Structure 1
C-alpha cells in the first residue's frame, strides 16, 4: 500500500496508464476518511489554457522513478469525473467517482465523506 506521506512527494510527476501512456500530472491525493490510506488522486490534464483535474483510484498503483502508474487506460481516466484546477470536490460528487470506476461507495455512518484531500 502506498503511504500518503510518500505519495505527496510525487506531486507534479507524470501519471501513466498500464501501457506507459502519459495521462497527466499528479495534482493531489485523497485519502479514505475511515482508513486514512490513499484512495484517489487528481490528475491535471488538458491544454495549458484549459486544464482540469480528473479523478483516478490508487488501488494497485505502482510508483516508478519519476511516474505513478495506475491500472486504468488513459482513455478511461480522461473521461472520468473532473473538477476545475481551483475547485474542491463537492461531497455530493464523491459517489460519481466510485460509480464511474465500478467501486462501492460507503460514506460514514453519520453521512461523513469517504474522501479527504491531503
Structure 2
C-alpha cells in the first residue's frame, strides 16, 4: 500500500473500478487509527446538484498514471454508506461502512473510533 500523504496529492483525481469505469473523484483519505495506514477513501459520486461522498476501501487499490483503481465495482461503491459533501462520518456509522464491504469492524482497544480523516 502507498503512504497516505501520497494519496492526498490525488485529491480531485478520478477513481475507477477494476473494469476502468469511472466511479467518481477522490475527495479524502481515512486512515485506520490503530495503524495510521490508509484504509478508506471518499469518492464524490452522484449527479449534478445531488453529489455525496461514498466510502471505498483502499485495500488492493493501485495508482495508475491518471487514476486510482479500487477493487470494488462502480455499483457497489455507489451503494456504499455515504456522507454529504461537507459532512462527517458519525462514529455510530463506522460499522456500516465496514459491513457494506463484508469487512469486520473492530473499534480501538479503548473503544475509540477506527477511522480518522487525513
Which TM-score band (shorter chain)? over 0.9
User: TM-score, normalized by length of structure 2?
Assistant: 0.98
Between the aligned partners of 2:27 and 2:92, the Cα distance in structure 1 is: 21
Offset of residue 109 of structure 1: 1.4
Give secondary structure in 2 for the equivalent of 1:10. Answer: coil
Between the aligned partners of 2:106 and 2:83, the Cα distance in structure 1 is: 21
Offset of residue 111 of structure 1: 0.7
Residue matched to 2:74: 74
Q: Deviations over 1:9-68 (max 9, x none)?
A: 000000000000000000000000010000000000111211000000000000011100
Between the aligned partners of 2:23 and 2:43, the Cα distance in structure 1 is: 8
What pairs with 1:19-98 in structure 2 (closer than 5 Å)?
19-98=19-98
> Could you list the runs of 4 or more consecutive aligned residues of structure 1 that deviate by over 4 angstroms after TM superposition?
none
Between the aligned partners of 2:2 and 2:91, the Cα distance in structure 1 is: 24
Offset of residue 102 of structure 1: 0.4
User: TM-score, normalized by length of structure 1?
Assistant: 0.98
Matched, 1:16 2:16: yes
Between the aligned partners of 1:23 and 1:92, the Cα distance in structure 2 is: 26
Structure 1: unaligned runs, 5 residues or longer: none
Cα RMSD of the aligned pairs, angstroms, is 0.6
